[in-house]
A and B are shown apart, each in its own frame.
Chain A
């Protein structure tokens, strides 16, 4: 079976992907949030496995992670919550987290569990490309999981080519030199970077993340790229409005 991520990437139109931290605002909101996001027309979901020390995240996701851990979220509990998710949800699901919890769970056991649940891919920002390729690629492949790599405005063309070669879904294009949730809109630097990547004719489509928070930034990010990912802005929405008004948020991004 073709991976759901690859199927989704074949579709016409720009993709909206939403990140949320599992276990936030409340421990058992995970399934509700996923189902609601799909109903509202979101194309792909990144389920954040919270970590005590999220190095690449700004204050919003840090706080949601701390709260989720305080609520009692664990790797095992997340897998339990997601156990029946494929009975109701059909869009691609990606687990995003940091490498240490995965390492402690056991990389093979973690991937096996993801496969059983119907997770399509993983994003582990601090699992570097060379370590992935030498130690873990076979395990990911065995369980049909796509590993998503990041590029940034500072990534050299040579390295982008290597990452493109190693990828088999999409490339996560970090919009600017920043942690998550910290930039105001997009300036010329971002536009030039988006255009530069577009002209490289990479084999994998790109989905832009970091700094997308409303309709304007979504449109700007997806002018050249296949889609965009919203994280911190959605977490902020949940913090303010709870889980009952997810549709309003999604509609504010894309009608």
Chain B
């Protein structure tokens, strides 16, 4: 079985490009050129140079000794939190800004939930001197104020999405509408492994640097390239896609996804798409989707703005349906507890999104000699207010 996109952008029955005709020229231009551009020598050289000198890659693969002792297995942390801008998001925005330049685009739009992708996009736009407009749900603007300020300082314009639930889903709708209105000069930097083909595959390939590094780093530390498990949190699923990519065809590597259960899967306030969703169309792709029986997309909930999305990338829908990946979900409380534990055992305060990945230890027991790599996708600075409120730290 293939776990990669076919030439029409399908992962099994998921994926494709369900876009209105207004977007066809842009998406088709990207589809017909992305692989060729990405694998040009000059593009690869620029991409890897920036990842090294600007982002600070390779990110360390860190053996978490105390966490390992606590949970009775060998835990390695892939330190995407140490990237410039504080999360894995920048791997993709570096790639896409170079792509936009090759396509001759001068104006960049993006959607953001927690603000990490917005900051990563504003950052590369500043780097390249490009105009940057970030759409962000009005609710998220209120709960992620530091990231809004960062985007503005980087020269980006932050436009509030006022429709629907005023969160990530609606910010994505607004970005798509902007692209319909500005088809010629604009490139849309989607921040997750979602959207119409070729976005899920393109974003996954840019993020695949994560698993590429894990392989040789683990070889250095353990004398083997393959861990027993790779664990990542999933909203749309870009850090997960990048962390899994080079292990997908290695069936002996267990793939583990942790979604946001919010207040509990059955609570009506959740974002656990694999448990609650069924196949449908969102933002141009066919994937598992939280919706009513009537096909209206429902409002998700999670304490973490970055996982607060009613769909999941089509690759992950396929990994779920085919049984290649094990899917778990962690509640707000479990994720917050896991974040506190990581802070106090290893001195690393994770993003709340990332806390969900660490909640795996509340759900699954690993064997003593299991090597478990966890994608530490982002740092928790942006979430301090939420942590303060939750743990009454003030």
Contact = CB atoms under 8 A, between A and B. Distances in A.
Contact of B163 (A62, A76, A101, A128): A62
Contact of A177 (B169, B183, B281): B183
Interface stretch (B152-160, B249-257, B287-295): B287-295
Contacts of A155: 21, 24-25
Contacts of B180: 55-56, 177-179
Contacts of A178: 180-181
A156 B177 CA distance: 21
A128 B295 contact: no
Nearest to A99: B281
A6 to B, nearest CB: 22
Interface stretch (A10-18, A86-94, A144-152, A194-202): A144-152
Contact of A56 (B22, B282, B291, B296): B22
B173 interface: yes
A73 to B, nearest CB: 9
Interface in A125-147: 125-129, 131
Interface centre among B173, B180, B282 (most CB of A within 10 A): B180
B296 A69 contact: yes
Interface stretch (B12-20, B42-50, B124-132): B12-20
23 contacts: A52-B164, A53-B169, A53-B282, A55-B176, A55-B180, A58-B177, A59-B163, A66-B164, A75-B295, A100-B281, A103-B280, A104-B291, A125-B21, A126-B19, A126-B284, A128-B17, A129-B21, A150-B22, A152-B183, A154-B25, A154-B183, A174-B22, A177-B22
Nearest to A105: B295
Interface string B297-337: 11000000000000000000000000000000000000000
A66 B296 CA distance: 11
Given A52-B296, A99-B18, A152-B21, 5 more contacts: A51-B296, A58-B177, A100-B282, A150-B20, A179-B180
A100 B280 contact: yes
Contact of B177 (A55, A98, A103): A55
A207 B202 CA distance: 37
Contacts of B17: 128
A179 B283 CA distance: 15
A152 B28 CA distance: 14
B182 interface: yes
Contact of B181 (A52, A59, A129, A179): A179
Contacts of A102: 295
A28 interface: no
A35 interface: no
A182 interface: yes
Interface string B1-30: 000000000000000111111101100000
Given A62-B163, A150-B21, A182-B181, A126 B296 contact: no
Given A53-B164, A177-B180, A101 B21 contact: no
Nearest to B284: A126
A150 B24 CA distance: 11
Given A150-B22, A152-B21, A104 B293 contact: yes
A52 B297 contact: yes
Contact of B295 (A58, A62, A100, A182): A100
Interface residues of B, number: 34
A74 interface: yes
Interface centre among B21, B163, B164 (most CB of A within 10 A): B21
A32 interface: no
Given A56-B180, A74-B294, A179-B177, A103 B281 contact: yes
B101 to A, nearest CB: 21
Interface of B: 16-22, 24-25, 163-164, 169, 173, 176-177, 180-184, 279-284, 289, 291, 293-298
A180 B279 CA distance: 28
A154 B291 CA distance: 33
B185 to A, nearest CB: 11
A151 B181 contact: no
B161 to A, nearest CB: 11
Nearest to B26: A154
A128 B24 contact: yes
A250 to B, nearest CB: 28
A128 B18 contact: yes
A154 B24 CA distance: 9
B63 to A, nearest CB: 44
A66 B199 CA distance: 28
A69 B163 CA distance: 14
Given A66-B163, A177-B180, A179-B181, A101 B295 contact: yes
A50 to B, nearest CB: 8
A104 B284 CA distance: 16
A182 B183 CA distance: 15
Per CB-CB distance, the 8 closest pairs between chain A and chain B, nearest first, are A104-B295, A101-B295, A125-B20, A150-B21, A52-B296, A100-B281, A154-B25, A100-B295
Nearest to B177: A179
A104 B295 CA distance: 5
A156 B283 CA distance: 23
B18 A149 contact: no
A128 B31 CA distance: 15
Contacts of A156: 25
B344 to A, nearest CB: 41
B173 A53 contact: yes
Contacts of A152: 21-22, 25, 183
B22 A104 contact: no
A131 B18 contact: yes
A105 B291 CA distance: 12
Interface in A150-183: 150-152, 154-156, 159, 174, 177-179, 182
Contacts of A127: 18
